[in-house]
Structure 1
């Protein structure tokens, strides 16, 4: 055989082997593919088989169906199914824009017998909407159900009370009677007889304003922990101990409530309660009244007694605890005509608040702004690189365009060119010119890159060492696309992002009835683009934004500082006259600017530079003392801009002192003035002065702490307390505002001989 034949044979042999091997390889590769295909096809069948045995019961949104719009509310579903099946709860609820927001909770493994309750929290975006409930075993939906949500506005308070406390029931009725029948109720009562049935999910109790418990109310350790966190973040807890001291001391609440109960005693005089309710009748006592022995380390004694306070209130974090030493549901107080007003005082609710808001309706109608939350969002949702066109400017361009395609085009083709049929050419030209001009104008008026603007309110409670963060961010998109936005507390300033309190991010919207507002009815609009919250709640996936549009988001976090972090060192003392003495030093990562210290009804102001007149910042590690030559004035006058001026009399001689007060502008966009009003809303006069409601941001008002042996340091710091990433890249660093509010304990001076 020659070389050619040999080569030919070798080539043919190779070709023959290749032809024989390929089917075998194909068959070997096809087997796993066929197995995977069969599994993929059978999985829905297996899941559908499980679906036949799956039952979904007791779908509950809120507290027995009660929830508030724009606030985190619990949702619970009972699921029963085959043992070992792992399922998750997926809830779709529209935000204020009508876009479906998807949350996933679980997974939970079923045992085949008892129902398994899956609990989560959702944020309804509209007063009337629908939520789609789905039980999922990925990737198959095993069961689904649509639930109607009827949410209450922010103006409705949610009180959780035992049903046998007549004083608070009558107090709620009296507040509701002030509202028109067509309005939402002022107070909605929730039964708290069995706290163990309440959901123990994070943020599940965020919408509650007041919780009233008796001394004998059974509270589990898990619910006590939830209650403690709720109070620390701004909740109002009321405890009615009375004759149930022993049961209270055996429960977990006694371990952390700041007012001590040391035993039981008998009282024959409750007259010190009468000054709390002017024009109330005598409290008639026939037999000794069993009461709790109270000891108040710090706070306010509302009603003193011969053997300890009858009624006391103490701060706890950013909230408060109020304890009554006597029973309200039984005994002489249950028959007292001042019980309703006493209950309102304990709930820290102003009975005249509704009337004050009604008086401001004329101003609200003119400005379109009725809520401080609307001001916050407006201050965030503006960008220096985006030139907002006024309504009059838009109307002017539209009129010019109508003139071009109408009278000017007519004069051009009929009078000047004398070719009327040419309008078939000129009209399309005007249309194209208008489209091109509008596009160029829009491009020049809007940013060409993704923009973010951020506002942080960072609270520090030095007594407990814990911190609270509320943040807003607005994201502007130059194109129609989807984004992934993530939130985390900033480790660089000492906030511990690795703690168990991970925080949450969600949409934000004005508390209004107008465009993009929360107070409008809607439904689950499946045609609109949806987005999804991450399982941990710290990120939003596939957030849809249209071209040249923006979306405002808000984030919350609460937790302990990072290890080895010491923000504040203070030793403040009330000298007995309401004046502060002592020292204060902060160790924050930057100076506090435009700051002041509030305590009681007094505000302490920083020194001014004698040359420039600017206030001096409070530098880190610098010792500051409120006594001495520090400037001070009345807090309410400072907040409302009260000034005194001498004016010559028009008749006669001499001068008169004229008191002037600044009006609060509902269209205010300055973050400093807005956050200051949020922080001291009641101190400034509430709705009577601002003409706006603070219902949606009520927990950010720190006014109540100033009467509970707490001072508040307020100022601006050039650091971000929250960090945001958009598609993995840092955002909001260039346009940010951070305000710090530090709650400082104040001890009373000890009298000496």
Structure 2
């Protein structure tokens, strides 16, 4: 009994001592690194798009007694369920530190996790759920986010109307909360439209961030009214392509009725203050007695729309057609008043029978296709599986029961059959997949002669012969013949981010399928300098991929010198000289509704555009751009009984969404809306919408499109150069066109409708 009591006392003392030791250690640790994450803000007003960069802000409150270096990091999921870790700027412990950064989620419902590291140890963690959180919502890429300054009844009504048709299609967020805190142009990537007033308050940094966002394809609308002077003194005026010329009082508002199809007339006894613009400074949207009341101008690959009136004032604030006007300003057709068009039908796109519903997916399919690896189709696999069933079933029964007549031998024959099939399968897989490491690359290079900017967007896919981790590094070939200026060669390109490639689908490996972060899959890191994926895990006989985007200031004269002119007829005149040092093949010039290329003998393809070549439009052939892109042909059938009677037929090639040829994909992608958009291709263009230059062609910009021999972006795999099976690169030089108002009293231009 005494020994039992001693055992119980010893056990109790041991448990109490262990508990006190653990608590003491925990308290000591907490005393050294007590860290709390507070005031988290994700996206824009809680909204962000899957597959796009979005801002995140939070406070780190530390009461540590020692001087420690803490590193915040954001953990999200890529489309395959791997964790993706982006490390932010480190800081010293103690007090409250405000942290800002960017993240990119690859799953629609995956959580966003904030982690604070002390060395390599996680000392604080906060996971924000997206699937069950009304304050944080992840949007599909076809949903739109509008950033509105102040009360904007027209745009708020448009968003409300669209929500009645399809929930979640358009969301509006207040601009005022973010006006002073836009810390990076990429923080505006979730935004599709920004609406400001003439008296909107902007800091210098916010103005530059909006400028860069517009240069990359954003749409900016400014409503002025009587605030023209405030706009001229605002920081944003330094880069706007058009400013108001004067301010007048108008009573006749019919110009706005003519601009908005099917709108109800506005009646007002008083006058309305309205800023006016020069008619030759852009595309006039609404006018009155020789004054432009609304005008849209190109700015980089984006656009700036200047509206002479304020939409938050009478009579526009309660106009029954204010929502329709907002949709037109946002470059949409109001789908509640008309059938869905190419720009709104993408919101209601269903599943594609090919498994490809977006251009981005087709681009990935083209990247992930290797001619040297000829894997059997699913039908071949099904056929061999059927043969295996016949062997281990009827054939084995026939041998052991009918021929040998010893059924117990099936315990030997079955493993033998399975071993032979396994050995044969392994050898076949080895012969099919055991090839040298291969890679493929696709690139789009834009050179804007007006903003003096070169912007590259490149995607790379590689085939791995081993199961291992890879470091993928992206860089710009500053020794490329495209950048002969030594100063450009020494300049560092601004990398916007190097990361995984999105797939906007609900199918396998798509961003829209259910599921989030998968703990059994290895995580990998993105570098803080935006150039690298540090440790991408790839399995044997499979592929890995990466995409990158960069910007670089260039000398426009190194690419082209232009003297292009539009006399008001919509046709291009003048000339340009190409100065790039690589020849362009498959090239043409697009402007308005037409494509221009050199004259050739019947049936022959035109020569490459070589450095120093002068292209004069007066000697050029022209064709309808839509006809060139869609393979439109005309044919005539003469009737046998009457040769004077004929029937004209118009044929159009069907777009092949299963094509793996990158060049026609990039050509169609560059002018998607000009082809007819989704009605022609049957594909949405949500991920790569910023690459569509169709709107620029309407805004006094001509585009020289052609194929380069090699991409400007270079990728390295574990610091080694890649061996490419195929590299496809197109260049798009965006050239300004001087515009002249047409003389309405002059006779019509005889070449206006001439296509030759």
**Fold similarity call, TM over 0.5:** yes
**CA contact under 8 A between 2:328 and 2:334: conserved in structure 1?**
no
- 1:634 correspondence with 2:624: yes
Per the TM alignment, residue 738 of structure 1 is displaced from its structure 2 partner at its CA by 0.2
Where 1:63 maps in the other structure, the secondary structure is: coil
- 1:532 correspondence with 2:531: no
Structure-2 change in CA distance of 1:81 and 1:362 (3 Å): closer
- 1:675 correspondence with 2:658: no
- 1:69 correspondence with 2:50: yes
Cα distance in structure 2, aligned partners of 1:236 and 1:597: 24
Where 2:107 maps in the other structure, the secondary structure is: coil
Structure-2 change in CA distance of 1:47 and 1:270 (3 Å): farther
Equivalence map 1:113-512=2 (5 Å): 115-149=96-130, 150-179=137-166, 184-196=167-179, 198-295=181-278, 298-306=281-289, 308-352=291-335, 354=340, 364-491=351-478, 492=480, 493-494=482-483, 498-499=491-492, 501-512=494-505
1:588 paired residue among 572, 580, 591 = 580
Equivalence map 1:555-594=2 (5 Å): 555-561=548-554, 566-594=558-586
Cα distance in structure 2, aligned partners of 1:310 and 1:462: 28
**CA contact under 8 A between 2:359 and 2:669: conserved in structure 1?**
yes
Per the TM alignment, residue 320 of structure 1 is displaced from its structure 2 partner at its CA by 0.6
Structure 2 segments unaligned to the other structure (5+ residues): 1-23, 131-136, 747-756
Where 1:453 maps in the other structure, the secondary structure is: strand
Q: TM-score, normalized by length of structure 2?
A: 0.88
Structure-2 change in CA distance of 1:732 and 1:257 (3 Å): farther
Per the TM alignment, residue 85 of structure 1 is displaced from its structure 2 partner at its CA by 5.1
**CA contact under 8 A between 1:50 and 1:81: conserved in structure 2?**
no
Per the TM alignment, residue 360 of structure 1 is displaced from its structure 2 partner at its CA by 11
Cα distance in structure 2, aligned partners of 1:466 and 1:269: 42
Cα distance in structure 1, aligned partners of 2:280 and 2:203: 26
- 1:718 correspondence with 2:702: no
Cα distance in structure 2, aligned partners of 1:118 and 1:624: 53
CA displacement 1:626-680 (0-9 Å, x = unmatched): 222x221111222222111122448876331111111212222221221112111
Equivalent pairs, count: 702
Structure-2 change in CA distance of 1:444 and 1:547 (3 Å): same
Cα distance in structure 1, aligned partners of 2:723 and 2:313: 57
Cα distance in structure 2, aligned partners of 1:294 and 1:608: 43
Per the TM alignment, residue 176 of structure 1 is displaced from its structure 2 partner at its CA by 2.6
Structure-2 change in CA distance of 1:360 and 1:669 (3 Å): farther
Larger mean Cα displacement after TM superposition, 229-238 or 489-498: 489-498
Per the TM alignment, residue 51 of structure 1 is displaced from its structure 2 partner at its CA by 2.7
Cα distance in structure 2, aligned partners of 1:307 and 1:86: 64
CA displacement 1:692-743 (0-9 Å, x = unmatched): 1101111111100011100111111102121000000112544210011111
Structure 1 segments unaligned to the other structure (5+ residues): 1-41
Cα distance in structure 1, aligned partners of 2:641 and 2:409: 77
Aligned twin of 2:637: 647
Aligned twin of 1:601: 593
Cα distance in structure 2, aligned partners of 1:348 and 1:380: 32
Cα distance in structure 2, aligned partners of 1:242 and 1:169: 19
Aligned twin of 1:99: 82
Cα distance in structure 2, aligned partners of 1:46 and 1:308: 74
Per the TM alignment, residue 540 of structure 1 is displaced from its structure 2 partner at its CA by 0.6
Aligned twin of 1:15: none
Q: TM-score, normalized by length of structure 1?
A: 0.88
Cα distance in structure 1, aligned partners of 2:346 and 2:685: 15
Cα distance in structure 1, aligned partners of 2:270 and 2:348: 51
Per the TM alignment, residue 100 of structure 1 is displaced from its structure 2 partner at its CA by 0.2
Per the TM alignment, residue 291 of structure 1 is displaced from its structure 2 partner at its CA by 2.3
Structure-2 change in CA distance of 1:226 and 1:108 (3 Å): farther
**CA contact under 8 A between 1:108 and 1:118: conserved in structure 2?**
no
Cα distance in structure 1, aligned partners of 2:349 and 2:453: 42
**CA contact under 8 A between 1:714 and 1:740: conserved in structure 2?**
yes
CA displacement 1:21-74 (0-9 Å, x = unmatched): xxxxxxxxxxxxxxxxxxxxx99998743432x332112221122111111111
**CA contact under 8 A between 1:575 and 1:749: conserved in structure 2?**
yes
CA displacement 1:208-266 (0-9 Å, x = unmatched): 11111112221111111111100001100111111222322222001111112345433
Per the TM alignment, residue 197 of structure 1 is displaced from its structure 2 partner at its CA by 5.0
Task: Give the RMSD, CA atoms, in angstroms.
Answer: 2.6
Larger mean Cα displacement after TM superposition, 500-509 or 259-268: 259-268
